[in-house]
Structure 1
Amino acid sequence: MLISDNLKHLLQVLADGHFHSGTELARVLAVSRTAVWKHLQSLAELGIDVVGVHGKGYRLQKPLQLLDAGQIEAHLDAWIVPLLRGIDIHAVIASTNAYLMEIANRSQISGRVCLAEYQTAGKGRRGRAWVSPFGHNIYLSIVWHYPGGPAAIAGLSLAVGIAVVRALRKLGIDEVNLKWPNDIYWRGRKLAGILIEVSGESGGPCHAVIGLGLNVYLPGRQAETIEQAWVDLQQIAGDEIILQRNRLVALLLNEMLPIIAGFEPAMLRNHVEEWREYDCMRGREATLFIGQQRFDGVVRGIDDQGLLLMESGEGEIRAFASGEVSFRAS
C-alpha cells in the first residue's frame, strides 16, 4: 500500500483535530471536492476515523501526531546520541523488524532504528498479526550486532522490558507490569509486546532486531480482532498522550539503547530484582506452552538467570528458558 503526497498533506492538515471544510481541504490540496472525499475514504482504510458534520466539515476522531526524526532527536539524552546510527521513518512498511533484518543481513550495523506509521504485516509472537492502525501507536525496531552470538543475548527481552517500563514511568504511566518473557501489561491488560529476532551462526557473531509494539491509541473497530484483554495509553492517560508520540519514542530510545548496546548475560543479574518488582504473574495459576507441549502450574517468578519458575500440582518446581505463558481463569 502506498500513500500519496496528497494523502500525507491531508493528514498533516487534519492532524490538529479541528474541523476543516471540504472547500478548504480542496483548496489546500489543489484537488476537487470529489477527490477530497476519496482521500477521506482512504484514511478510513488505514484505520483513521474521520468525523464529518454538515456545515462544519471534517476532523479526525482523535488528534494525531505524525512521527518526526527531528522532534525525536530533540528529546534524546545527549549521551544516547553516539549509540544511534540513524532513524528511518516509514509511512507504510510491511514490518519494521523485517526491514532492519534485511539491512542487518548485508552489514554489521548497530544502532539503526526503524519506525513506521503503519505496518501491513506487523507480527507478534508465534507468527500472530500485530494490529497496526496508521499513526496511532508505536512500531519501533532497533538492530544490534553481537560478536558473542545468540548465547550472549539470553535474557535480553527481560532487560528490554524493564527499559520500556522505565520509559513509561517517565511519561507518568504507573502500574505497568511485565509478563514473562516479553509482554508489558497494565492492570491485567496487554499494553505492549517485545519481539526479538536473531540471525547468525549459533557459535559465532549474530545480529538481533529488537521490536516493540506499543498501543498508544487503538480505535475500537481496529481492535475487534484482538483475542486477549488489551489497553492503550489513551485509556490510561487521556487524549493528550496521543500528541506525545515523538517524545515517547525518545524516552523509549533513552532507556532501550543503553541496555541493548551493553547487554551480556552477566548483566541480567543487575536487572533481575527490578524485573521481579514488575512481575504480574508471580503466584498465579498459568499454562506454559512449548510447541505442542503444555505445562500447568503456579508461577513462582524467575530465577537469577531469568528462567521462568513454575510449580506443578505435585509441588515440583521447574525452570523454563522459553515458551508462551497464558493466565488461567481463577
Structure 2
Amino acid sequence: MQYDELTKTLLHVLSDNGFHSGTELAGRLGISRTAVWKAVRALELRGIEIAALPGRGYRVVQPLELLNETAIRAALKPEVACLLSALHVYDELDSTNTHLMRLAAERAPSGVVCLAETQTAGKGRIGRTWLSPLGANVYLSVLWRYDDHALIAGLSLAVGVAVIRALEKCGVVGVGLKWPNDLLWEGRKLGGILLEASGEAHGGCAVVVGLGINRYIPSAVGREIDQAWVDLSTVAGESAPSRNRLIASILNELLPLLNDYQHTGLRHYLPEWRRYHHLNGREVIVRQGDIETVGTVADITEEGLLVLTCKDGKRREFASGDVQLRVVG
C-alpha cells in the first residue's frame, strides 16, 4: 500500500533531518496543530523516532532516508539494469516476499524486485517474524524463475556471498555468514535471507529471494528482538552506506548471480562462502523437532548441506529445512 498524502508529505518534510515547529507543519500540511501531533504519533507507532523539543518543534532522532527508485536505478550497472524487469517500491506491505509470491502466481517474470519502507508481517525463517520499522532498514525481495526446482539447491548460501560482496563495495567489512542464511558481525545478527519457492505445472519453479538488513534499529524495536543483533549504524558509524546506495549495490551483485545460477550452481561460490562462514570448526547443536545432534562443523556440500563431525566420529549431513542451529556455549 501507499500512504495518504498527509503522511507522505510529513515524511518528506521530516526527512531533511531538521527541526520543524508545529505551526510550520500545520501550515505546510493544511491541518491543525492537534492533527500534526496525531500524524507525528502515527509515524512513531510505525517505528520512526521523533524528538519534540519546546520552542524548536519536531525532528527525527536518526537521519531519515526514504527509498528513491530513480536513485537506485541510476546506480545500477547497465548490464544489471537489463536484468531488472520491474522495480516496485511501496510505503507499506505485509511482506515483500509475500507480495512477490502473489505476483509469481500471476506469472510475473524473472527480475521483478520489491522494496518497502516498512512491513506489517515481515518474515523470518521457520515462521519467525522480521521486525520492520519504517524507513530504517532494507526490506528487499527478488523474483526469479528456473527450469528445474533441483537447480536451486544451495541458492540461499550463494545469495549470502553476493550480499557480503555488496557490503564490502560499500565499505562495510568484517561481515560473516552463519549457515544457512544469517549475516553476522562479531557474532551478532546483521541480516537474514529467506527463500520461498513454488513449483510450476511444467516442472519449473518460481523463487522469491528475500533479504533483510539492519541499517538502523530504533532502541524500542531492539528491545523486542530475542537474539543478539547489530546494525550498520553501529558497524560503520557515519560511514554506513545510505539505503538507496546499499540496495543498488546488492542488486548489482544479486541479479547477475540469480541469472547465472542455473548454470553455475553453488560450486562456483563455495570457496568464498567457506571463507566467510562464522561457524567453521565450531561445536554446534542441530535441532530437528525434538531430536538434537551435537557435532563440529566440518564443511558444506555442493548442495548446501551442513556437514558435522559427531562425537562418535561419524559425519552427518543436514539440509536447512526446518532445522535450528546454535553454537554450544
Instruction: Give the TM interval when normalised to the shorter protein.
Output: over 0.9
1:272 aligns with 2:270: yes
CA deviation digits over 1:190-225, x for unaligned, max 9? 111000000015981110000001100000111222
Report the alpha carbon displacement of residue 66 of structure 1 after superposing the two structures with TM.
0.4
Structure 2 vs 1, CA of residues 240 and 270 (structure 1 numbering), >3 Å: closer, same or farther? Answer: closer
Structure 1 pair 265–290 and aligned structure 2 pair: CA distance change class (3 A):
farther
| 2:195 partner letter | I
Equivalence for 1:258? 256
- What SS class does the counterpart of residue 322 from structure 1 fall into? coil
Write the deviation string for residues 63-121 of structure 1: whole angstroms up to 9, x where unpaired: 11100110100111111011001110110110100101111111151100000001000
Amino acid of the structure 1 residue aligned with 2:237: G
Q: What is residue 212 of structure 1 aligned with on the other side?
A: 211
Q: Distance in 1 between matches of 2:275 and 2:166?
A: 16
Which ranges of 4 or more aligned residues in structure 1 deviate by more than 4 Å? none
Which runs of structure 2 are paired with 1:149-228 in the superposition (5 Å)? Answer: 150-201=149-200, 204-228=203-227
What is residue 78 of structure 1 aligned with on the other side?
78
8 Å CA contact retained: 1:153, 1:265: no
TM-score when normalising by structure 1: 0.95
Q: 1:222-280: CA deviations, max 9, x gaps?
A: 122211111000111124536x1111100000000011111137531111100011010
Give the Cα–Cα distance (whole angstroms) in 1 for the partners of residues 133 and 177 of structure 2.
Answer: 24
Percent identity between the two aligned chains: 48
Q: Deviations over 1:2-34 (max 9, x none)?
A: 732111111111112111111111111111111
Instruction: Give the unaligned 5+ runs of structure 1.
Output: none
Equivalent pair of 1:173/1:237 in contact (CA under 8 Å) = yes
The CA deviation at 1:329 is 4.0
Distance 1:59 1:237 in 2: 23
Q: 1:309 is matched by which residue type in structure 2?
A: V
CA distance in 2, matches of 1:215, 1:178: 15
For 1:163 and 1:306, the matched residues in 2 are separated by 15
RMSD: 1.6
Count of residues paired in the alignment: 328
**1:285 maps to what in 2?**
283
- Whether contact under 8 Å (2:22, 2:36) holds in the other structure is yes
Q: Distance in 2 between matches of 1:180 and 1:203?
A: 31
1:309 to 304, 307, 310: 307
CA distance in 2, matches of 1:124, 1:234: 22
State the shift of 1:316 in Å: 1.3
Q: How does 1:1-330 map to 2 (within 5 A)?
A: 3-148=3-148, 150-201=149-200, 204-239=203-238, 241=240, 244-264=242-262, 266-323=264-321, 324-330=323-329
Question: 1 CA distance for matches of 2:154 and 2:290?
Answer: 23
Q: Residues 183 and 189 of structure 2 are in contact (CA less than 8 Å); yes or no, is this contact kept in structure 1?
A: yes
Task: Give TM-score scaled by structure 2 length.
Answer: 0.96
Matched letter for residue 73 of structure 1: R
> Residue 303 of structure 1: CA displacement?
2.8
Residue 251 of structure 2 aligns to which amino acid in structure 1? L
Question: Is this contact kept in 2: 1:2–1:92, CA < 8 A?
Answer: yes
Q: Deviation of residue 318 (structure 1)?
A: 1.1
Tell me: CA distance 1:122–1:175, structure 2 relative to 1, closer, same or farther (3 Å): same
